[in-house]
Structure 1
Amino acid sequence: MYWRCNDVFQHISYIILPLPRDFPIVIDHSLPQLLLSDYYSRDYQGAFQIGAHLPGKAYDVTEFLPEHPGGPKIILKYAGKDATEEYDPIHPPDTLDKYLDKSKHLGEVDMGTVKKEQKEHDPDEEARQDRIARMPILEQCYNLMDFESVARQVMKKTAWAYYSSGADDEITMRENHTAFHKIWFRPRILVDVEKVDFSTTMLGTKTDMPFYVTATALGKLGHHEGEVLLTKAAKKHNVIQMIPTLASCSFDEIMDAAEGDQVQWMQLYVNKDRSITKKIVEHAEKRGCKGLFITVDAPQLGRREKDMRSKFTDVGSNVQSGSTTDNSQGAARAISSFIDPALSWKDIPWFQSITKMPIILKGVQRVEDVIRAVETGVQGVVLSNHGGRQLDFARSGVEVLAEVMPVLRERGWEDRIEIYIDGGVRRATDIIKALCLGAKGVGIGRPFLYAMSSYGLPGVDRAMQLLKDEMEMNMRLIGCSSVEQLNPTLIDTRGLNMHTTSVPVDNL
């Protein structure tokens, strides 16, 4: 049996399965036959011998296989097929170097032995390519929702399912956006708004726009350049990028893509192995990250059924069976098993002891926890429900913001902590509403992924420019010439606490 892969940045390249020991099955695309006898002579007790090249280098990941978050079945599924498109988007190039001991680096592979294999005919892919050929030109995208509409048509099903999925009935995911529709403006008139300045400062960094590129996983699912493309766009528009733990590109790749004094933050999922977490944090600080955003709303990843239906294996889900590990539940579950559900308030002093970076808690959802965050001494919080991907029926970030800021002002604490929000932002008016309520800045994730997936760097560039154009227009129309002038008197939030939901779609 052979597993054929194209020569790209990285991919699994061969497997040796001694099953039984006198009848090994070799799944290979690049290992010279002369080397195989050396592997046959080893005693692996029927376990997997798995290798990968990056490119042209072989690795032994036998011992790591049981810990592979995606499980072994995803690997076996692609026996005899090109696995590049599945492996590449969800594995940073330094994955094997980072997690495998040097003794597991088996050496060079003769790439001259690689055999080309034609791809099987895929009607779905053929139809997708036809839609790509007929997609609107970039100039026909006039707002961020347009990019989502195009992305739905041109992205691969698994990629679209991962990016667009929300938890359970996706009520919170939709509410994140519709909550902004419940806030109305009270604009000022006869104000000199010839010149409008919407630059601001976040964690001590001057930025041209009051939004940042928030952390979103698996950028290469949408575009082969992945997160480094977002880095380039952020530099052009002088906005801050938050680097995700679960990026397709390696952390160093994303940092290396930054230019000059470009500022980046680090989003952190806390590993069960604190030594790994410590190493990640220290490396981020050494490389120059200006903020550590610790995700606190994901002790377990939410049930994202759209993603699960497009899971990365053909094996049926057994989530209700009580199994301790289920590796057939889509990209989200397949990449996140390392996250520590035991993370608690008592860990915050430890983080403060290992870094001088500002610490921000990402995923705070109620005023009591914001108060505790101030008392703990962190520098900021992100009011967020993980883009509606965790607890369904969690309130929107902007609704929580409207609850939090009056309490902080009453205590005189509004300057002791920086408040950010994310989730559902699609218009500059959404950003302005959040700033009026008291947010320091707003995180935007999915829209930039959709723009990137549809049009690459020019798409993200246009998405950011559209937001700039909207900001200038709406700042003038509301009667403010700078971000500092935005305040609660400019908005009416009386309808914000009214919760209505549509009947969820089910298969009954």
Structure 2
Amino acid sequence: MTERQLPRPKDLLPLVRFKKPDLNAKRRRLAAAHTIDDLRAIAQRRTPRAAFDYTEGAAEAELSLARARQAFEDIEFHPAVLRDVSKVDTGWDVLGKRVNLPFGIAPTGFTRLMHTEGERAGATAAAAAGIPFALSTMGTTTIEDVAAAGGPNGRNWFQLYMWKDRDRSMALVDRAAAAGFDTLLVTVDVPVAGARLRDRRNGFAIPPALTGKTFFDMAKHPNWWFDMLTTEPLAFASLNRWSGTVAELLDTMFDPTVDYTDLAWIKQQWPGRLVVKGIQTLDDAKRCADLGVDAITLSNHGGRQLDRAPVPFHLLPEVVREIGGDVEVHLDTGITSGADIVAAIALGARFTMVGRAYLYGLMAGGRDGVDRAVAILRSEVERTMRLLGVACLEDLESSHVRQLHRLTPWRS
């Protein structure tokens, strides 16, 4: 029989720990977020459905996005033990300059729709973390304002969609160069808009239309609507005002005739580093390398263009093996944790980019939320490296990772 006794005050006192309550609601909710998925849950509660779905959604049945995430979930790590990992270095050179972490903020369109601080929050958080920030052609903050936000420590990249109006496209490129942007990301997987069905069903448009449904939503998300209606009107920073749907805008603007000749011409115009984003086959990766670009980004646009497109993470080892000695190989799509980033680096990626993970933080708390997203990913990268027995990125090898393929490509 277990003997029982009443607890004595002197035994209880060491267990009593009262915390000073934090009266700042934003700080409380961000402190309670320990993963990117936690930030996503906060973002979903605080953001109208159309804006959240624009970030969350992908094309058609959203199979490409689901498969990309599944690929990272199917990683099996192989740790080495008895290694000194008391200090971990998470930085190295990317495109000729050091980054403090092996990831950066991907270009995202309509960013101020997610939170009024928009691209400014991303640029300032990236500068503070010592990582690159990429501004989209479809951004809602000007090139010059992003440069000013990042300040002297900011490293900014400009993402280019080639328009039918070539002069306007290159005018943006010239502005980016003049503002100190050091890298041009030419996105090549958008000859036409993908079928983003969530946006169609939500009637997604820029700026948001005020309808009966809108006013009902205001009652559910008063802070978001107050911020939007009392700050600078939401508009594309590089475009004239647009009143149609996003898909209509893309199909009106973007040029489906762009080819490798155009890419070579852009390369001649740009004085800095050139990255081709949206590569999805080994053949295209080789052609870009032959053209002399500085890096390629294996990406299927976050699953937002061609559904059932190849999984970038599955392509990574083969592409690195074939051209990794000639150009840097970067990766995006499906990354939601620091473990995903470490796995990509181990299989040969020089750099990764996060889009949705950054936007979840932005929606959850503006600049503070982006800082929290970066901090979460940083801690996960460091912890995963330590548990793998790796003290620096250079020591990560393919032997640390095995991909468990649920989808095995059939070849005739």
> Considering the TM-score relative to the shorter chain, is it more than 0.5?
yes
Give the drift of 1:337. Answer: 2.5
2:142: which partner in 1?
Answer: 250
2:268: which partner in 1?
Answer: 353
1:450 to 356, 360, 363: 360
Give the drift of 1:174. Answer: 1.4
Whether 1:382 and 2:382 are equivalent positions in the alignment is: no
1:300: which partner in 2?
Answer: 192
| 3-state DSSP of counterpart to 2:335 | coil
Whether 1:465 and 2:375 are equivalent positions in the alignment is: yes
Q: 1:172-321 counterparts in 2 under 5 A?
A: 172-311=64-203, 312=205
Give the drift of 1:333. Answer: 3.6
8 A contact 1:167–1:390 mirrored in 2:
yes
Whether 1:398 and 2:313 are equivalent positions in the alignment is: yes
Q: 1:139-150 counterparts in 2 under 5 A?
A: 139-150=31-42
1:426: which partner in 2?
Answer: 336
Change (3 A) 1:134 1:493: closer
2:285: which partner in 1?
Answer: 370
Q: Which has the larger radius of gyration?
A: 1
2:17: which partner in 1?
Answer: none
| 3-state DSSP of counterpart to 2:276 | strand
8 A contact 2:128–2:153 mirrored in 1:
no
| 3-state DSSP of counterpart to 1:368 | helix
2:225: which partner in 1?
Answer: none
In structure 2, distance between residues paired with 1:397 and 1:435: 13
1:155: which partner in 2?
Answer: 47
Give the drift of 1:496. Answer: 6.2
Q: 1:12-51 counterparts in 2 under 5 A?
A: none
In structure 2, distance between residues paired with 1:397 and 1:198: 23
For structure 2, the residue ranges without an aligned partner over 5 or more in a row are 1-24, 212-241
Instruction: Report which stretch shifted further, 164-173 or 255-264.
Output: 255-264
| 3-state DSSP of counterpart to 2:152 | coil
Q: 1:448-487 CA distances to partner (integer Å, 9 max, x unpaired)?
A: 1111111111111111111111111110100110000011
8 A contact 1:200–1:210 mirrored in 2:
yes
In structure 2, distance between residues paired with 1:406 and 1:496: 22
In structure 2, distance between residues paired with 1:283 and 1:463: 30
Give the drift of 1:377. Answer: 0.9
Give the drift of 1:336. Answer: 5.9
Q: 1:432-453 CA distances to partner (integer Å, 9 max, x unpaired)?
A: 1100110011000111111111
- Tell me which protein shows more helix as a share of its residues: 2
In structure 2, distance between residues paired with 1:136 and 1:297: 40
Give the drift of 1:375. Answer: 0.7
Matching residue's letter, 2:318: E
Give the drift of 1:246. Answer: 0.5
TM-score when scaled to structure 2? 0.81
8 A contact 1:223–1:453 mirrored in 2:
yes
Give the drift of 1:384. Answer: 0.3
Matching residue's letter, 2:322: V
Which structure has more relative contact order (CA 8 Å, sep 6+)? It is 2
Change (3 A) 1:220 1:341: same
Aligned Cα root-mean-square deviation (Å): 2.2
In structure 2, distance between residues paired with 1:489 and 1:145: 28
Give the aligned length: 352
Whether 1:337 and 2:247 are equivalent positions in the alignment is: no
Give the drift of 1:249. Answer: 1.0
| 3-state DSSP of counterpart to 2:286 | helix
Give the drift of 1:332. Answer: 4.5
Change (3 A) 1:167 1:240: same
